[in-house]
Amino acid sequence: MTKKPVQFQLNGSPVAVFSDEGQNLLDLLRRGVGDLSPKYGCGQGTCGSCTVIIDGEPRLSCLTLAETVEGQHVETTNGLANGPDLHALQEAFMENFAAQCGYCTPGMLMAAKALLDRTPRPSRAEIVEAISGNICRCTGYEPIIDAILAASGQPTRRTG
């Protein structure tokens, strides 16, 4: 099988790897780079668990042809924490019980980060819209919405 060289920035660091023909970005990140934070859920764009941020926009890594990220900036959940210091969203997800099984969490975090990067104090409706492509089967979504509100310094159901 032909291998294609791909170079891109992953969480601010340069990456140079070979992708297989037709390989999706999720598979390249997990098997080629060793970043296991984005998850494989449905492989068809329904669940959002593979959400990453590419050049500032949330996208689905399972539906992204790996070689198309040449020269682009990719962000995953692995890049959120700064050493032992968790990102505000990660702290808020813990404090607000926004994860149970945790499988959707990396996708939720990246969808939320993409929102807060553009809209630091989003409305509840904007949060619902931002995570509308991400499925969670544990929490019922309300704790996740609360966590994103909390991360943006806004009152939640518990604190409001």
Query: Can you give the binding site for other proteins, defined by CB under 8 A?
Result: 1-2, 4, 21-22, 24, 43-45, 48, 51, 57-60, 62-65, 67-68, 111, 114-115, 128-134
Between CA 2 and CA 82 the distance in angstroms is 37
Q: State the minimum distance, in angstroms, from the CB of residue 151 to other proteins.
A: 17
C-beta closer to other proteins: residue 29 or 131 = 131
Between CA 24 and CA 36 the distance in angstroms is 14
The neighbouring-strand residues paired with 22 are: none
Q: State the minimum distance, in angstroms, from the CB of residue 83 to other proteins.
A: 28
C-beta closer to other proteins: residue 85 or 126 = 126
Taking the CB of residue 67, how many other CB atoms lie within 10 A of it?
A: 18
Between CA 124 and CA 130 the distance in angstroms is 10
Between CA 147 and CA 157 the distance in angstroms is 10
C-beta closer to other proteins: residue 86 or 123 = 123
Q: State the minimum distance, in angstroms, from the CB of residue 44 to other proteins.
A: 5
Show the DSSP H helices in the chain as ranges: 25-27, 88-95, 105-118, 124-130, 142-151
Best CA proximity match to 80, nearest among 97, 95, 93 = 93
Q: State the minimum distance, in angstroms, from the CB of residue 159 to other proteins.
A: 25
C-beta closer to other proteins: residue 42 or 94 = 42
Q: State the minimum distance, in angstroms, from the CB of residue 2 to other proteins.
A: 7
C-beta closer to other proteins: residue 71 or 94 = 71
